Amino acid sequence: MSEVYRYAAIVEYNGACFHGWQKQKHHNEPTVQAALEAAISKVANHPVEVACAGRTDAGVHATRQVIHFDSTSKRTDYGWIMGINTNTPPAVSVQWLQQVDGDFHARFKARARCYRYLINNSKYRQALQHDQMTWWRYPLDAERMQQAANHLLGEHDFTSFRAKDCQAKTPVKTMHRIEVRQWGDLIMVELEASAFLYHMVRNIMGVLIPVGEGHKEPDWMKDVLDARSRLAAGVTAPGDGLHFVGVRYPEQFEIPSQPFGPLILEPALSLTR
């Protein structure tokens, strides 16, 4: 019997081109998982199933999604990457890959996940990157948004920010960090937590945006959190500006966790840190 090898990879994709991460059993919409499995299977010369660190919704992007797969085939890291990227659509690409221990699991070994939500806060909509940033024409106050966001730090029951179709076993998660930063018309909200519930980030943004507009006070975030009811929160913000940008694992697995994306922001971030 052939030996089975486990590989981990970091994947980037434009979610606007896919109907979410998870492959569909009875639908023909393109998904990231289906595209990757088809490409990897072709390179491996046998069917391959892929697991990811965090499933993303339709329209949501990723710069550092982590996946793993098993194969009896031996290839160089470069050979895997070039072979996979040759067979995937232009909107999905492997950025890093290496063989890992068999006990590594992209989802269950993750200690924290990080998302970024990007807002174009210009009066006029953008033509470039229109599907990678959420356009919000009304002025937002980043400082007020940060005051509201601070209420989410630590371990909480995030039921108020949980979509009805969420399949997580518990709504209790730990928010390690949440930062609101602004450069001109660009506003970025970065969130790092132990894990995220279905639509959790977009529902948090549905509270932060009215606070930023001045329609709600920053303490409204605490009221929503304490209510433990989805009815207490605001609307679900659009998925255009949401990016899955990183996963943290125990160091033993040697999975890169920096730099976070979207990469277009990294020069600006390095100058402001």
Comparing C-alpha atoms, which of 205, 216, 220 is closest to residue 151? 220
Report the amino acid identity of residue 16.
Answer: A
Answer yes or no: do 133 and 105 share one domain: no
Specify if 205 maps to a domain.
yes
User: What local confidence, expressed as pLDDT, does residue 158 receive?
Assistant: 97
Answer yes or no: do 139 and 223 share one domain: yes
Residues 221-234 have a mean pLDDT of 94
Q: Which of 109, 124, 139 is the last residue of a domain?
A: 109
Answer yes or no: do 226 and 130 share one domain: yes
Comparing C-alpha atoms, which of 61, 39, 37 is closest to residue 51? 37
Q: How many domains does the chain have?
A: 2
Determine how β-strand 134-135 pairs with β-strand 112-120.
Answer: parallel
Confidence of residue 166 (pLDDT cuts 50, 70, 90): confident
User: What local confidence, expressed as pLDDT, does residue 24 receive?
Assistant: 82
Answer yes or no: do 99 and 117 share one domain: no
* Radius of gyration for the chain, computed over Cα atoms and rounded to the nearest angstrom: 19
User: What local confidence, expressed as pLDDT, does residue 270 receive?
Assistant: 46
Report the amino acid identity of residue 113.
Answer: R
Report the amino acid identity of residue 46.
Answer: H
User: What local confidence, expressed as pLDDT, does residue 168 receive?
Assistant: 85
Spot the catalytic one: 57, 185, 219, 223.
57
Rounded to an integer, what distance in angstroms lies between the CA atom of residue 63 and that of residue 245?
Answer: 5
Give percent of the chain above pLDDT 70: 94
User: What local confidence, expressed as pLDDT, does residue 103 receive?
Assistant: 94
Answer yes or no: do 104 and 116 share one domain: no
Residue 223 known to be catalytic:
no
Burial class from Cβ neighbours inside 10 Å (0-12, 13-18, 19+) for residue 45 reads exposed
Residue, of 183 and 165, whose pLDDT is higher = 183
Average pLDDT over the chain reads 92
Comparing C-alpha atoms, which of 265, 269, 272 is closest to residue 243? 265
Answer yes or no: do 120 and 103 share one domain: no
Residues 34-53 have a mean pLDDT of 97
* 3-state percent helix, strand, coil for the chain, nearest multiple of 5: 30, 25, 45
Please tell me the least confidently modeled range out of 31-35, 53-57, 156-160.
53-57
Specify if 259 maps to a domain.
no
Residue, of 242 and 234, whose pLDDT is higher = 242
Answer yes or no: do 151 and 59 share one domain: no
**pLDDT tens per residue, range 240-269:** 999 999 999 999 999 987 766 665 555 455
**pLDDT tens per residue, range 191-218:** 999 999 999 999 999 999 999 999 999 9
Answer yes or no: do 152 and 207 share one domain: yes
* CATH code for position 187: 3.30.70.660
Answer yes or no: do 12 and 102 share one domain: yes
**pLDDT tens per residue, range 59-77:** 999 999 999 999 999 999 9
Is the pLDDT reported for residue 273 higher than 50? Answer: no
214: containing domain? 112-240
**pLDDT tens per residue, range 9-27:** 999 999 999 999 998 877 7
